[in-house]
Amino acid sequence: MPAPPSHFLLLRFFKSFSRSRLAVIVLHLLLLIQNGYGQWLSYSARSSGMGNTGLDLSDVTGVLLNPAALAGQEATTLLASAHQPYMLAELGTYNVAAAIPIRHAGWGLALTYSGYEAFNQKKAALSYGRSITEFISLGIQLDYIQTAVSEYGTSHTFTGDVGTLVAISSQLRLAAHVFNPYPINWGFGEQKVPTVFRMGLAYRPAEPLLINAEVEKDIDQPGRIKTGVEYQPADPLFLRAGLLTNPAVFCAGAGLRLGRMQLDFSAQYHQVLGITPAASVWLVLPAKSKAAQ
């Protein structure tokens, strides 16, 4: 087996000293550089189990992945999720989100916290998605990001997302999303907020089966291919699997629907850094007729 890249060896070294404040700060910074902002900050356990895919998902996940998908919301939905990258509590990431449908459109709000007292990021996002035609939806999102580094201060940054979702047929959908279209500064030195492009196809050959394939490109990093599948063998149960490239990450997950509530769990495995578990819970509020809104 070839030797892992040097930055993975550095990450593994710092992981072994994760209780050191300096080590965790450096680890966090290296993860941001390697993965780009949002690689593990903005996914529910459902999408994590499918290889971080889901640009097409017309549910509350749209607040986290693609605002254009909010146009397909049928009912107000609340979401809470948690990730623990590589089993390190200091890198814990927590999301709460809400998606609210209106006539031919939807609003979304999400709050994210990642890190611990010495190094953390907070993000607030306001999203809007609207159907332009029967087959095309567009979305936009405004992001506020606060980064705090112990003894160095706090930065405040505003940026945004844009996305689109196209129904090519009843079984096939095309989605695209751009985070931070215009490069801006984090507020610490010359480090820029990454600009990340995502595009993908979602194929549903039958109602119980969803197959996703996406590409992702940070303008300063190599591109990645992401694939995922979701299968519903029985009414309350969902099974998921996925794969990411560059670096290789293997994903698996499951979901359980209990009336208006859904519980999702996932795990991602990196052969050098280890396991990233995630869990999320949804609550779908009673739907209102869009015609009455």
Amino acid symbol at 142:
L
| CA gap 270, 250 in Å, rounded | 7
Q: What is the dihedral of CA 40, 219, 51, 164, to 10 degrees?
A: 100
* 12-36 mean pLDDT: 49
Quick one: DSSP state of residue 51?
T
Picking from 289, 242, 235, 247, the residue whose alpha carbon sits closest to that of residue 267 is: 242
Q: Is the pLDDT of residue 288 over 80?
A: no
Q: Is the pLDDT of residue 272 over 80?
A: yes
| Span 83-129, pLDDT tens digits | 998 998 888 999 999 999 998 899 999 999 998 888 889 999 999 99
pTM: 0.83
Max CA separation in the chain (angstroms) = 61
Q: Is the pLDDT of residue 164 over 80?
A: yes
| Span 34-81, pLDDT tens digits | 444 444 346 899 999 999 999 999 888 878 899 999 998 889 999 999
Amino acid symbol at 253:
G
Domains of the chain: 6-285 (2.40.160.60)
| Span 204-222, pLDDT tens digits | 999 999 999 999 999 888 9
Q: Mean pLDDT of all residues in the chain?
A: 85
Predicted local distance difference test score (pLDDT) of residue 192: 81
Predicted local distance difference test score (pLDDT) of residue 17: 45
| CA gap 58, 170 in Å, rounded | 14
Predicted local distance difference test score (pLDDT) of residue 151: 78
CB 165 within 8 A of CB 68: yes
Predicted local distance difference test score (pLDDT) of residue 276: 94
| CA gap 179, 36 in Å, rounded | 11
3-state secondary structure string, 112-161? EEEEECCEEEEEEEEEEEEECCCCEEEEEEEEEEEEEECCCEEEEEEEEE
Angle at 166 between CA 139 and CA 53, to 5 degrees: 75
